[in-house]
């Protein structure tokens, strides 16, 4: 049984070798400190969002300052205090953590304006993983960031927090997986529920594309070839040196 994530399918679509090294061999990726910081920034914002909805499930709507405090607790190391931040004592070692906090403060304010409003519905799934079976030997895994319910209406919401947002087409596969998984569950349990998806118009999302690439990936033998020079991934690929020496072309 092959289990593959949506991220893996997207990486395979761009470059087979990149997929193999990253998802099958789990090679160590060399990332710049800024890339690491960006990943941490996104993960921390997601944790703040999940905190908000967990509280909301308990009937409490956290204030904006409570969310900011949560951010600071998660973002700054325990040994860093307000004085350190003010004089940027840790600037060399820790990059621009304070400037990411300025960006986060604006993002959290917008988030709070939208999701603290009344009549939004109840959160019924928060950062919840799902598995989508595709035939006997293949399954796709993904996550719902948030599902809100209001009566018979379910709204599946996907968050994106990258400082430089990728084109919307980048999310097509994520939405295809979410929709297929949701409809799979709906057939069994939620026949009368209407479902809508936020962030991207699903009319443009093609589930067949996702299944095509997932099955192609499943059918691969053990040779995953590089697309060296044909993809912009190469510019920042952490596996460049392995790829440069790759010589396993099938005869």
Is 226 among the residues that bind ligand SF4 (CB under 6 A)? yes
| β-sheet bridge partners, residue 141 | 5, 131
Residue 116, C-beta contacts closer than 8 angstroms, at least 6 positions apart: 61
For ligand SF4, the binding residue among 50, 184, 206, 231 (CB under 6 A) is 231
Task: Tell me if residue 230 falls in helix, strand or coil.
Answer: coil
What is the C-alpha separation between 59 and 122, in angstroms, rounded? Answer: 10
| Under 8 Å between Cβ of 138 and 177 | no
| β-sheet bridge partners, residue 154 | 149, 195
Residue 196, C-beta contacts closer than 8 angstroms, at least 6 positions apart: 153, 154, 155, 156
Is 61 among the residues that bind ligand SF4 (CB under 6 A)? no
| β-sheet bridge partners, residue 138 | 2, 134
Number of chain positions touching ligand SF4 (CB under 6 A): 13
For ligand SF4, the binding residue among 17, 45, 68, 217 (CB under 6 A) is 17
Q: Taking the complex as a whole, how short is the minimal distance between the CB of residue 4 and ligand SF4, in angstroms?
A: 18
DSSP state of 191: T
Q: How many CB atoms lie within 10 A of CB 202?
A: 18
Q: Taking the complex as a whole, how short is the minimal distance between the CB of residue 11 and ligand SF4, in angstroms?
A: 9
For ligand SF4, the binding residue among 233, 249, 250, 251 (CB under 6 A) is 233
Nearer to ligand SF4, 221 or 232 (CB): 232
Nearer to ligand SF4, 115 or 233 (CB): 233
Is 15 among the residues that bind ligand SF4 (CB under 6 A)? yes
The interface region with ligand SF4, picked from 13-21, 105-113, 118-126, 200-208 by CB under 6 A, is: 13-21
Nearer to ligand SF4, 103 or 231 (CB): 231
Q: How many CB atoms lie within 10 A of CB 174?
A: 22
Q: Which positions lie near ligand SF4, rule CB under 6 A? A: 15, 17-18, 226-228, 231, 233-234, 237, 239-240, 243
């Amino acid at each position: 049984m092959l289990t593959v994530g949506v991220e893996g399918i997207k990486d395979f679509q761009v470059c087979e070798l990149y997929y193999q090294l990253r998802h099958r061999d789990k090679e160590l990726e060399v990332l710049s400190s800024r890339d690491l910081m960006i990943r941490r920034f996104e993960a921390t914002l997601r944790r703040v969002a999940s905190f908000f909805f967990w509280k909301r499930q308990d009937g409490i709507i956290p204030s904006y300052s409570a969310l900011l405090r949560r951010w600071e607790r998660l973002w700054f190391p325990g040994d860093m205090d307000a004085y350190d931040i003010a004089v940027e004592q840790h600037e060399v070692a820790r990059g621009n953590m304070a400037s990411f906090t300025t960006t986060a403060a604006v993002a959290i304010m917008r988030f709070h304006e939208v999701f603290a409003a009344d009549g939004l519905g109840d959160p019924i799934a928060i950062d919840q993983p799902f598995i989508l079976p595709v035939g006997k030997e293949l399954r796709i895994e993904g996550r719902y960031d948030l599902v809100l319910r209001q009566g018979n209406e379910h709204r599946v919401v996907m968050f994106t927090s990258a400082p430089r947002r990728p084109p919307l087409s980048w999310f097509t596969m994520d939405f295809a997986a979410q929709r297929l998984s949701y409809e799979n569950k709906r057939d069994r349990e939620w026949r009368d529920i209407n479902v809508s998806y936020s962030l991207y118009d699903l009319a443009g999302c093609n589930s067949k594309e996702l299944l095509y690439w997932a099955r192609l990936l499943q059918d691969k033998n053990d040779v995953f070839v590089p697309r060296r020079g044909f993809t912009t991934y190469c510019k920042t690929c952490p596996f460049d040196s392995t790829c440069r020496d790759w010589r396993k072309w099938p005869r």
